[in-house]
Amino acid sequence: MGLKATFYRAGKLLVRPLFGCVARVRVVGGENTNCSGGFLLAANHISHFDPFLISLAVRRKIDWMAMAEFFRLPIVGLVLRAVDTFPAERDRADRKTIRTAIERLKNGRIVGLFPEGGIRDGVQSLLEGAPLRPGASTLAHMAGVPILPCVILGTDRFYSTKGWLPLRRTPVWIAFGKPISHSPELEKFRARERIESELADAFKNLYAELRQTFQLTADDLPHPPRERMKARRHPLRRASAKTVDSLLCASLNLLHTRHRLNGRSCEEMERYLVACEQFTPQEYYATPDDGDSSSELGTSLARVFSDSCANVAWRSPVNTAFAANNIAHAEFFPCTQGPTAPTVFLLHSLMSTKPVGYRRCAQRFNELGWSACLLHLPYHFSRVPRGYWNGELAITCDLVRNAEGLRQGVIELRQLIAGF
């Protein structure tokens, strides 16, 4: 027995008493899992607890496919790999994942997957007739192994704290169907079509069998995780929430005392509106014919593909009373495809106090083949004047400055897009 198999068995020994205390699992068709050789186990997906409970119901070891996002977390990825779980991208076919699955199936192992591509309930679930993804039928046909359908119900209740009370023992129902042949006598297209049809029928029949056998109610059927998490608010929680809201409102009011209106504010706003009425929206947001500003931007953009991250800075075409706000900034994260790749523009807003989240977001776009450009909005992030908070000057009682700040942001974005 290999090291990973040992870890898998040790994990089952730890998980079994835990769910044995809080769950009452009832299995239908368990004898169908005792077939020898490799096969693909395809199950519906209603919660993150499904793999644990299905693994407890199957005697043999299961190599699960898991979302690639889990493996980006170092500790979680280490644990998953220790039990022979391997990553799979939800939004695209990954050749490495396909090769890994086929290799393990041909070596006589069980590979588990959720053909829905994520947690589903209601009309989005294959139990209610939602279309199947072609991945399961493709793998089974290419590896030459059968598919074992599985339907699991009740695990979504573990999203509620009540589901973990030992004396309640949350009911869980699992049904295994008959293995579905990979139809070697048919050509590829017709074989996959037949497998998908039989698999969809098997899910519906197993679902109906569980409902009829155990007389399941509407509350026993899959619900969205957020709905299961909802609980009656405790008076103390409600009071603490109101306290936090009150403190936030008080801090905003205190902050705005620094920006009181002067006696000419109304007249200034009226003059601004009269001056702007003569413009169309295109003219109002038109990029000024400023050769120096465009030249600075062009020089900065010329070097963005030479670095993995380029900080583009140029003089804003809209001049304000704050020097820090008159320099426009954008961070550009090019992907490996170079200038031909599409670019997504993300705008730093009020909560952009740190760039960590945006850089992670940009890295994700890069992995998908997109370049990312993060534009710093006026009075935000790197453009906050000394002595002010992030975004403080963007929304105040000074309506003229508010309007000009929005106009400035739109013009800079249009200028940046034109530069590409």
Q: Are 383 and 324 in contact (CB under 8 A)?
A: yes
Assess whether 225 and 339 both reside in one domain.
no
Q: For residue 350, what pLDDT is reported?
A: 46
C-alpha distances (whole Å) from 99 to each of 30, 104, 175, 262 are: 29, 9, 29, 70
For residue 354, give every residue at least 6 positions away whose Cβ sits within 8 Å of its Cβ, in sequence order, or none.
Answer: none
Q: For residue 309, what pLDDT is reported?
A: 57
Of residues 141 and 248, which shows the higher confidence score? 141
Residue 233 has pLDDT above 70, yes or no: no
Residue 303 has pLDDT above 70, yes or no: no
Angle ∠(350,394,315) on CA atoms, nearest 5? 100
H helices, E strands: number in the chain? 14, 11
Retrieve residue 12's tokens: 């089952």
Q: Are 358 and 346 in contact (CB under 8 A)?
A: yes
Assess whether 269 and 225 both reside in one domain.
no
Assess whether 209 and 299 both reside in one domain.
no
Residue 181: inside a domain? yes
Assess whether 218 and 269 both reside in one domain.
no
The domain in which residue 189 lies consists of 3-229
Residue 230 has pLDDT above 80, yes or no: no
Residue 320: band (very low, low, confident or very high) from pLDDT cuts 50, 70, 90 = very high
Residue 348: inside a domain? yes
Q: Are 320 and 290 in contact (CB under 8 A)?
A: no
How does pLDDT run across 331-356, given as a tens digit for each residue?
Answer: 888 888 877 889 998 886 544 556 67
**Domain count of the fold of the chain:** 2
Q: Domain ends where: 229, 248, 275?
A: 229
Q: For residue 307, what pLDDT is reported?
A: 56
Residue 193: inside a domain? yes
How are beta strands 327-333 and 310-315 bridged, if at all?
antiparallel
Residue 45 has pLDDT above 60, yes or no: yes
Assess whether 270 and 172 both reside in one domain.
no
Residue 360: inside a domain? yes
Assess whether 222 and 296 both reside in one domain.
no
How are beta strands 170-176 and 23-28 bridged, if at all?
parallel
Residue 261 has pLDDT above 90, yes or no: no
CB atoms within 10 A of CB 53: 20
CATH of the domain at 145: 3.40.1130
Residue 322 has pLDDT above 60, yes or no: yes
Lowest mean pLDDT among 12-16, 79-83, 140-144, 238-242: 238-242
One-character DSSP codes across 238-270 = HHHHHHHHHHHHHHHHHHHGGG---TTHHHHHH
Residue 8: inside a domain? yes
Question: Over the chain, what is the mean pLDDT?
Answer: 87
Q: Are 346 and 375 in contact (CB under 8 A)?
A: yes
Whose CA is closest to 369, among 338, 331, 347?
338
Half-sphere exposure of 109 (CA within 13 A, CB side): 16
Q: For residue 391, what pLDDT is reported?
A: 82
Assess whether 66 and 195 both reside in one domain.
yes
Cα distance between residue 83 and residue 13, in whole Å: 13
Amino acid, res. 211: R
Residue 264: band (very low, low, confident or very high) from pLDDT cuts 50, 70, 90 = confident
Residue 249: inside a domain? no
Longest CA span, the chain? 88
Q: Are 23 and 53 in contact (CB under 8 A)?
A: yes
How does pLDDT run across 122-144, given as a tens digit for each residue?
Answer: 888 989 888 888 889 999 999 99
Q: For residue 355, what pLDDT is reported?
A: 67
Assess whether 297 and 208 both reside in one domain.
no
Assess whether 224 and 279 both reside in one domain.
no
Q: Domain ends where: 209, 229, 249?
A: 229
Residue 76 has pLDDT above 80, yes or no: yes
Q: For residue 353, what pLDDT is reported?
A: 54
Assess whether 11 and 145 both reside in one domain.
yes
Residue 410 has pLDDT above 70, yes or no: yes
How does pLDDT run across 156-212, given as a tens digit for each residue?
Answer: 999 988 889 877 899 999 999 999 999 888 888 899 999 999 999 999 999 999 999
